[in-house]
Chain A
Amino acid sequence: MRKLVPGLPPVGSILALTGPMVLVGLPAFAAEGGLPQLRFADYPAQIVWLVISFVILYALLKLAVLPRLTGTIESRAARIAGDLEAATQAKAQAQAAVAGYEKALAEARDKANTLAAQQRAAVQAEIDSRKAEIEARIAAETKAAEARINATKDAAMAEVRGIAAAAARDIAAKVADLEIGAAAADQAVEHLLGQAS
């Protein structure tokens, strides 16, 4: 057996020591006047007061204590149930709000995407049309410039021919003393130019 106090004999040996003393002593004590519990003359007084005190305790508990006690416990249970209910509702509301927010977010994103696409398409179209316009203008100006160059060239060429023909007639008149008609000189220049080109 485990020792209760170090240095003292365990409970077992205390019992072994004192047990016989109890067995010897108890009948001697009891012999003095019998068990008080079995003196039936004392019974009526005890029973009467037991009934009185028990009934008073019962009435007090039933009428004063228990209504308040059950009221407290039930109101607490109701409060807890109500709070749980409110929490569940709040949670559902929060979830609905989150779902609504996410839906709104998705819608906004879609709208932004389509807007961006439209804008991009519009800008692209503008760019394309401006480009086409500029290209067309450039082409027209190029063409006009070319025509002007050609005209100037032709004029210059015609002048050069005339000068060449006049020079040829002068040279022929001075060197060979030949009178060449203007038409023949032009023809000769034309012929030589044709050979050169």
Chain B
Amino acid sequence: MAAGAEGHSPLHQFEITRLVPMDIAGVDVSFTNAALWMVISVVAVSALMMIATARGALVPGRVQSVAELAYEFVTGMLRDICGTQGLKYFPFVFTIFLFVLTANLLGLLPYSFTVTSHLAVTATMALVIIVAVTLLGLAKNGFGFFHLFLPSGVPLWLAPLLIVIEVISYLTRPVSLSVRLFANMMAGHTTLKVFGGFVVALGFLGIAPLVFVVALTGLEFLVAFLQAYIFTILTCIYLNDALHPHH
């Protein structure tokens, strides 16, 4: 949403700028604006959770209620989808939810950078999730994990077709998981920026796109939460496939 002097392109808000150029063994590890907002997200969510859990009051206050609400929300999701075995992986799922939600919400601040609007970020998370879940499934079920690709009770002549379809759908999971989040964030922010540009360009008539931008900002808050929810719930579903591949 930044309206920098040089940034007339609605895509300029997604530019990566190297704040502290760094290089380790030929790998570019510069501290970029994306890294800055990752750190801000981590600090913000950690500070919130630390303050929220500092007192541990029997009757929670407002901040503690937020933390407990998030906790109950993710625990409920994980328990509903994966059963009680899934609760072992709660810290990981909880971290994903809080990180994505905070990054999405902080991205709505003017002049901020939306970490989750970058494919590099969402694809890394999606790949880590899929690889971890696949390894977990193999470790837990051994060969039985491949039941995922051929549910029991399917006629044998359907097997070649079904296995191919299931494998393709399994392999597209990281793609859909990462593209869904990054595309939603990018599309929302680009639209906001484009309409924000119209407000200035149209002068008096700019009130029409202004009204639209206000409404769209509200919608983007919903999208920020919804996409974090979808990302988390899909993680839970994939985790459930690893824990219970026999459908």
Q: Given contacts A35-B11, A36-B16, are A18 and B198 in contact (CB under 8 A)? A: yes
| 10 more A-B residue pairs beyond the given contacts A25-B10, A61-B49, A65-B50, with a C-beta to C-beta distance below 8 A | A18-B209, A21-B198, A29-B11, A32-B11, A48-B27, A48-B29, A53-B35, A57-B98, A70-B71, A72-B57
Assuming the contacts A57-B46, A72-B53, A76-B58, asked whether A37 and B29 have C-beta atoms less than 8 A apart, the reply is no
CB distance A49 to B32 under 8 Å? Answer: yes
Tell me if A45 and B18 are in contact (CB < 8 A).
yes
Residues of chain A with a CB closer than 8 A to B32's CB? 42, 45-46, 49
Q: Is the CB of B67 within 8 A of A69?
A: yes
Q: Is B58 a contact partner of A26 (Cβ separation < 8 A)?
A: no
Q: Which of A9-17, A125-133, A155-163, A169-177 contacts B (4 or more CB under 8 A)?
A: A9-17
Residues of B within 8 A of A38 (CB): 119
Q: Which residues of B contact A (CB under 8 A)?
A: 8-11, 14-16, 18, 22, 27-32, 34-35, 38-39, 41-42, 45-46, 49-50, 52-54, 56-58, 60, 64, 67-68, 71-72, 90-92, 94-95, 98-99, 115, 117-121, 124-125, 182, 186, 190-191, 194-195, 198, 207-209, 211-212, 215
B41 adjacent to A53 (CB under 8 Å): yes
Would you give the shortest CB distance from B116 to chain A, in whole angstroms? 10
Cβ of B181 to closest chain A Cβ, rounded Å: 12
Specify the chain A residue showing the minimal Cβ separation from B45: A57
The chain B residue sitting closest to A47, CB to CB, is: B124
With A18-B198, A58-B92, A69-B53: A49-B207 Cβ-Cβ less than 8 Å? no
Q: Which of A26, A54, A65 contacts B190 (CB 8 A)?
A: A26
For chain A, which range describes its interface: under 10, 10 to 19, 20 to 34, or 35 or more residues? 35 or more
User: Given the complex, which residues of A lie within 8 Å of B57, measured CB to CB?
Assistant: 72
Question: What does DSSP make chain A's interface, helix, strand, loop or mixed?
Answer: helix
**B70–chain A nearest beta-carbon distance, Å:** 9
Q: List 25 A-B contacts (CB under 8 A).
A: A5-B211, A14-B212, A18-B209, A21-B194, A22-B194, A26-B190, A35-B11, A37-B119, A37-B182, A44-B27, A45-B22, A45-B28, A46-B16, A46-B118, A49-B29, A49-B39, A53-B99, A54-B95, A57-B42, A57-B95, A68-B54, A68-B56, A69-B71, A72-B56, A73-B71
**Contacts known (A36-B15, A51-B124, A57-B42); A44 close to B29, Cβ less than 8 A:** yes
With contacts A45-B35, A46-B16 known, is A73 near B68, CB below 8 A? yes
Q: Say yes or no: B124 contacts A35, CB within 8 Å.
A: no
CA distance A43 to B16 in the complex (A): 10
With contacts A69-B67, A73-B71 taken as known, whether A58 is within 8 angstroms of B208 at the C-beta atoms is: no
The tally of CB-CB contacts under 8 A between chains A and B is 167
Residue from B22, B92, B120, B209 in contact with A47 in the complex, judged by beta carbons closer than 8 Å: B120
B206 to chain A, nearest CB (A): 10
Report how far A35 CA is from B189 CA in the complex, Å: 14
A58→B182 CA distance, assembly (Å):
22
Nearest CB in chain A: distance from B29 CB, A: 5
Per-residue contact bits, chain A 55-76, to B (CB 8 Å; 1 contact, 0 not) = 0111011101110111111011
A192 is an interface residue with CB less than 8 A from chain B? no
Whether B58 contacts A79 by the Cβ 8 Å rule is yes
Complex: how many Å from CA A10 to CA B53? 46
Q: Does A188 contact B (CB under 8 A)?
A: no
- What are the residues of chain B within 8 A of A5 when measuring CB–CB? 211
A29 to B196 Cα, complex, angstroms: 14
- Is A4 among interface residues, defined by CB-CB distance under 8 A? yes
A30 within 8 A of partner (CB): yes
Bound-state CA distance A123–B98 (Å) is 91
Q: What is the CB-to-nearest-CB distance from B145 to chain A, in angstroms, rounded to a whole number?
A: 25
State the CA gap A66–B89 with chains docked (Å): 12
- A18 near B94 (CB under 8 angstroms)? no
Q: Which residues of B contact A37 (CB under 8 A)?
A: 14, 117-120, 182, 186
- Asked if A41 lies at the interface with its beta carbon under 8 angstroms from chain B, I say yes
